[in-house]
Structure 1
Amino acid sequence: MNNAFEKMSVLAVDDNRTNLHILQVFLKKLGHEVILAENGEEAVARFQQHHPDLVLLDIMMPVMDGFEAARRIKAASRDKWVPIILLSALNRDENLVEGLEAGADDYLTKPINFVVLEAKLRSMQRSLSMQRSATVTLERLLAISDNVPDAIITCNGSGEILTVNRATEIIFGHPAAELIHRQIRLLVPELLCETAANTTARNREREATGHRRDGRAFPVEYGLSEVSIDHERIFVIVIRDITQRKLAETQLQQNAALLQTYYDHSQNEQQLALRLMEKLLHRPGLLDSRLRYKVIATENFSGDIVAASHSPEGRFYALLADATGHGLPAAISVLPVLALFYRMTRLNRTIRELVIEINQQLKESMPIGRFVAATIVCLDEISLSGEIWIGGTPEALLIDADGQICERFPSENLALGIIDSTQMNDQPRRFEWQPGSQLLMYSDGVLEAADGQGQQFGSQGISDAVQGTSRAERFTALEDALSKHLGQNAAGDDVSLMLIDCP
């Protein structure tokens, strides 16, 4: 037996116990479940009790013959097709006709040819399998139709309703029995002419007005398609209640207007904040001829800042700072740094004093998780020596007149605002320089700037850019190298560069 078919439950009926036993053995060998009965009356009872898939039914039996049993079995299985194969030694045509009229589906004469019986069982199995597939498919379609939220209605060419699903009853408030054979215009008046002939609306969603049973009107959206069943035009209409969508659209329009007002107000505030930030950032000290710098913001506002100032005693101060984050929050974070830097440098304070004061101010005012990395440098024009303190920013480079890196100043301290000033290392590093030297400072946005392949500019990019350049062209060479590396890509972080000519 082909195992591709599911096993069947078979009711075998014969008043001859020997024949019944042979049938039982044969059917079990084929993998089927077997239910036995010895007369027609018992067969009907067994059928109603076990609901088998197929019946092998002898004709000549006591109590109730096979013809009557077949009629009763067919009556009991009207919602489901159960094949009946009659088994009989009677082989006259009138017996065959009577058996088929009684409800039998096939006929096999005795003595039974088991090869033929097996072939008939296979045929019945295929038919049952197709029936089961069709039944499952129909049940699924009905379940889907009854559980979709949209009304699904079929009409004929004159607009007469043929079928409706459960959602139709819910949406329109009419029981299904009340809608069948009524006109579709009862529910959606605009659909009358389209269901009759208009082909322009098919397969296209359109909006209309629906009418509930209680007379209330509401907005709907519908789609119309046509099928042909037995040469009859049938229209399938899917109707969706869009009341909530219309309310949501109205609310969205109102929200959009409010958002536009808010956006315009926000833009005005940002422009004001931008002008104030520019005024705070672009102090006269940045105009010093010995200083070149560049700041590229990833948003309107930059968390990177540069600052420079001269003290009355001949000291030149410079600051490069990088606050956590981007945009306006980061820019606001560095404002206290700028204010303290310019105030204290005018008073000729030492690097150590600047570090302590700025750190303590940030520690007391900044939220947890917010801090400012910084490089602070002071050049003494009289002694030709300097001090530098780096916390969290990349290393600074001292470059000689020939473009060679002659000294590196690594970041040896935590960023400002993380720990209390009493716990931090506030001692700057002293250094001296040769004539023609320059000091280069930059933020980590320079190192992390990536090209189209994700390759970062890195320390090597900086070294290659300044190597062998003259003092006058060095900053431009570094700018060009960074721009070429980025190509069409935007930097992923704020970028700041500062190059200072040592006196």
Structure 2
Amino acid sequence: MSKMKVLAVDDNRTNLHILQVFLKKLGHEVILAENGEEAVRKFETESPDLVLLDIMMPVMDGFEAARRIKGMTCDRWTPVIFLSALNRDENLVEGLDAGADDYLTKPINFVVLEAKLRSMQRSLSMQQVAIDSLHRVQAISDNVLDAIITSDEQGIVVSANQSAERIFGWSQSEIVGRNIAILLPGESSAKPGEQPGNARPAIRANEQEVLARHKDGHQFPATLSISQVTLDNQQMKICVIRDITERKQAEQQLRANARQLQTYYDQTQAEQQLALRLMEKQLHRSGLRDHRLKYKVIPAEHFSGDIVAAARSPDNRFYALLADATGHGLAAAISVLPVLALFYRMTKLNRTVQEIILELNQQLRESMPVGRFVALTLVCLDEQSRQGEIWVGGTPEAFLFDRWGRATKTFPSSNLPLGIVASSELGGEPQSFSWEAENQLVLYSDGLQEATNPANEQFGTSGLIQAIANTSPGDRFLKIEAALEAHQNGTPASDDVSLMLIDCP
């Protein structure tokens, strides 16, 4: 503090003038008063840093003025130095009892006065540093989101920050001096014989959840941590309280969402299991157990959009179907259910390949949304005449292999998938063929062609032909399975895979 504001009080104007000149020469600001009453009034309005006070004055003497001034400075220390011609010990004692911080007899020794002023100035500078530090701490405390409440050993609140006002609804003046139990009812317990007002909060080392009480009476969840400190030889408790109402509400909402998700998951699982059982019942018909047929369907998900079907007509003609609906999963699986029902009904009626294809196309056109279609290969074998028909639309080409694993005939995909155009526009007659002893037909979906290995290389038609080359008819299906598994080497399929191998007797 380089400059002080000094209140100089003396009923002698000459003395006042001398003091004023001396103080201004030292660089201080000077306020003048000629009696104790005027000194008290100016002290209240001007808030000086230091008071130089004469004792013997009219209206109000220095002793009374000092007592009143000291009663007005509870927040900060303002030194009062008596300047008086009274130099007896009892005058000195009375002055100190009145609240004076120092005493200087007249005539004034200005060298001593200057030294006393420097000493007071150093003390005031230290006080200002302490006040500034306190203000900084208070500013930090008031800007913390948590309530910070200090109480004594009996639980009486000594201080509270602004967040305590916001959280509890009480003003700081309403909180201070009351028992902390009004804020934390569960944190106080009176000893036998104690009144509730003297109840003391329990000491907790770690943060715990408690119920706090708002001024309006409602309770809310909060976290509380209490630490104990010693200030001025007195044990004090510092309580840090955080309102966790929003967090609890969020946790409750998360738990409710988790329960809903679990319920939805359980329902979905139950529905999927039911759908899977229904699909399996539709897919696994007795015709697929024909001794001349081997097949495999590998779904990319729980449900396959690829289906295979086989049946014998009353005339003992053998029918086989491999279909691949758009996409994969449950939606694709549902798309091919109409194909199965029609296939099995029409094969019982000895319908030709052409008739079955047209009827399937019409059904899919009527039942499937735009953009959905079914690629399909349909085969009919007359074992008595060794004559067959095959229709390929949208699926990869089919092959007829001889007994040594050579592809003797290829049946290209020369037709559109079903469900795209009207039956009158579909066109495409089935391809007729005959076979020799131990010949085999191989039908498959594009999922087999597009199956990749870890290097992202596709299995392709070449992989199929290589797997079959130089194999005997009885080992052929297993060789294809092994080749595909070796190629994928653990890489999951991105599309449904289906494969049919039919012995031509």
TM bin (shorter chain)? 0.5 to 0.7
**In structure 2, what is the Cα distance between the partners aligned to 1:70 and 1:460?**
108
Larger deviation: 236-245 or 309-318? 236-245
- Look up the match of 1:222: 223
TM-score by length of 1: 0.62
Closer/same/farther in 2, CA of residues 209 and 470 from structure 1, 3 Å limit: same
Match of 1:387 among 386, 389, 393: 389
Calculate percent identity across the aligned residue pairs. Answer: 44
Residue 440 of structure 1 deviates from its aligned partner by 1.5
**In structure 1, what is the Cα distance between the partners aligned to 2:30 and 2:476?**
105
Closer/same/farther in 2, CA of residues 225 and 366 from structure 1, 3 Å limit: farther
- Look up the match of 1:463: 465
Residue 471 of structure 1 deviates from its aligned partner by 0.7
Residue 499 of structure 1 deviates from its aligned partner by 0.8
Give the match's secondary structure for 1:169.
helix
Structure 1: which amino acid aligns with 2:240?
A: I
Structure 2: which amino acid aligns with 1:390?
A: V
- Look up the match of 1:366: 368
Contact 1:157/1:196 (8 A) holds in 2: no
Closer/same/farther in 2, CA of residues 276 and 140 from structure 1, 3 Å limit: same
Closer/same/farther in 2, CA of residues 318 and 173 from structure 1, 3 Å limit: same
- Look up the match of 1:481: 483
Closer/same/farther in 2, CA of residues 99 and 475 from structure 1, 3 Å limit: same
- Look up the match of 2:74: none
Closer/same/farther in 2, CA of residues 485 and 210 from structure 1, 3 Å limit: farther
Matching of residue 245 in structure 1 with residue 248 in structure 2: yes
Matching of residue 155 in structure 1 with residue 158 in structure 2: no
Contact 1:301/1:326 (8 A) holds in 2: yes
Structure 2: which amino acid aligns with 1:318?
A: A
Give the match's secondary structure for 1:237.
strand
Contact 1:462/1:478 (8 A) holds in 2: yes
Residue 376 of structure 1 deviates from its aligned partner by 1.6
Give the match's secondary structure for 2:27.
helix
Match of 1:190 among 183, 186, 191: 186
Structure 2: which amino acid aligns with 1:152?
A: A
- Look up the match of 1:178: 174
Structure 2: which amino acid aligns with 1:384?
A: R
Closer/same/farther in 2, CA of residues 395 and 248 from structure 1, 3 Å limit: same
Unaligned segments of structure 1, at least 5 residues:
1-39, 41-63, 76-91, 104-130
TM-score by length of 2: 0.62
Match of 1:202 among 203, 206, 209: 206
1:186-221 deviation per Cα after TM superposition (whole angstroms, max 9, x unaligned): 22233458996744x514x43x22212122233x14
Unaligned segments of structure 2, at least 5 residues:
4-23, 32-45, 50-110, 123-131, 190-198
Closer/same/farther in 2, CA of residues 212 and 313 from structure 1, 3 Å limit: same
**In structure 1, what is the Cα distance between the partners aligned to 2:265 and 2:272?**
10
Residue 496 of structure 1 deviates from its aligned partner by 1.8
Closer/same/farther in 2, CA of residues 162 and 420 from structure 1, 3 Å limit: farther
Closer/same/farther in 2, CA of residues 176 and 309 from structure 1, 3 Å limit: same
Q: RMSD between aligned alpha carbons?
A: 4.7
Matching of residue 340 in structure 1 with residue 335 in structure 2: no
- Look up the match of 1:303: 305
Give the match's secondary structure for 2:403.
coil
The 5-angstrom pairing of residues 87-126 of structure 1 reads: none
Contact 1:68/1:102 (8 A) holds in 2: no
Contact 2:292/2:502 (8 A) holds in 1: yes
Closer/same/farther in 2, CA of residues 319 and 102 from structure 1, 3 Å limit: same
Contact 1:441/1:498 (8 A) holds in 2: yes
Match of 1:282 among 264, 281, 284: 284
The number of residue pairs the alignment matches comes to 390
- Look up the match of 1:30: none
Closer/same/farther in 2, CA of residues 248 and 432 from structure 1, 3 Å limit: same
Structure 2: which amino acid aligns with 1:347?
A: L
**In structure 1, what is the Cα distance between the partners aligned to 2:437 and 2:148?**
92
Closer/same/farther in 2, CA of residues 153 and 99 from structure 1, 3 Å limit: closer
Matching of residue 67 in structure 1 with residue 27 in structure 2: yes
